[in-house]
Amino acid sequence: MNVIPAILGAVIFLIAAPLLGGLLSGIDRIITARMQSRRGPPLLQPFYDIAKLWHKEKVFANPVEGIFTAAYLILTAAAGAMFFAGLNLLLVVFCLALAHTFLILAAYAANAPYSHIGAERELIAIMVAEPILILLGVGFFMVTGTFLVSEIMGAAVPAICYLPGVFLALFAVLTLKLRKSPFDISTSHHAHQELVKGVTSSFAGKTLAKVELAHWYETILLLGMIFLFFAGCPVIGLIVVIVGYFLEILIDNIFPRVTWQMTVKSLWIATLVFGVLNIILLGFFGGLI
């Protein structure tokens, strides 16, 4: 692996991801408002919100929550930096899981009932999402013979040709990871979904700002994983990412939230039917490409 392109990719992600993530959040709010016959906030409203939160007085339910949320932000950014640097995809997945573990610890540290419920549901969300993310790495390895994102990007044939089931399963889990209905069981990023914010109920000021920034980093990372299926066809990949994000917004606005039991059942079925079956058929009919 070339060191300079890897460092450059990581630096670009660390700088550009919050900007792109904030813009996507603004677009999300505008489209959501129009779907509900509202005018909606300005495009840059997410950045105004972050700036306002960052300058608020420090208020902690428990001082250690600031440490845990900082770890959540740093590890999420690190996972994205490793992905765009072209490093090991499984390492990216494990780093992202560790990041969410710190978010859960921060919610538990608040010692508040709604925060605890949100933490428990965030733990359920990790249990639901991790299998398909691991299958993602396994599938790419079976197709390309490597876990390195840089080498997967250089594959002669787009992975979507061999992993359509894994792609569909990832898209289903994307709804959960982006915290959108019907699977936003631990928290939501839209006021129309809930008044009590679940895992972020007790966060305020810089603590909440760090959580929002981490979500922006994670959004760009997840969309990068979608794009990875179309390596070698960047125009098609970009179109799929744009259309896919719009579909997530549409789904968020037309489906009510389901219970956590239904979330687990639905996404594990999607993982088994689409993801696991795809891997089994790929292992049965093919080897390394």
pLDDT tens-digit profile, the chain (289 residues)? 578 889 999 999 999 999 999 999 999 999 998 988 888 889 999 999 999 988 877 766 677 888 899 999 999 999 999 999 999 999 999 999 999 999 999 988 887 778 888 888 899 999 999 999 999 999 999 998 899 999 999 888 899 999 999 999 999 999 999 988 888 888 776 655 554 567 887 787 888 899 999 999 999 999 999 999 998 888 999 999 999 999 999 998 888 888 889 999 999 999 999 999 999 998 887 644 4
The owner of tokens 């239904």 is 262
Specify the amino acid at residue 89.
L
Distance CA 289, CA 286 (A): 8
Could you list the residue range(s) of the whole structural domain that residue 151 is in?
3-285
- Is 0.85 surpassed by the pTM of this model? yes
Pull the structure tokens for residue 33: 């408002």
What is the number of structural domains in the chain?
Answer: 1
Closest CA to 203 of 70, 23, 88, 77: 70
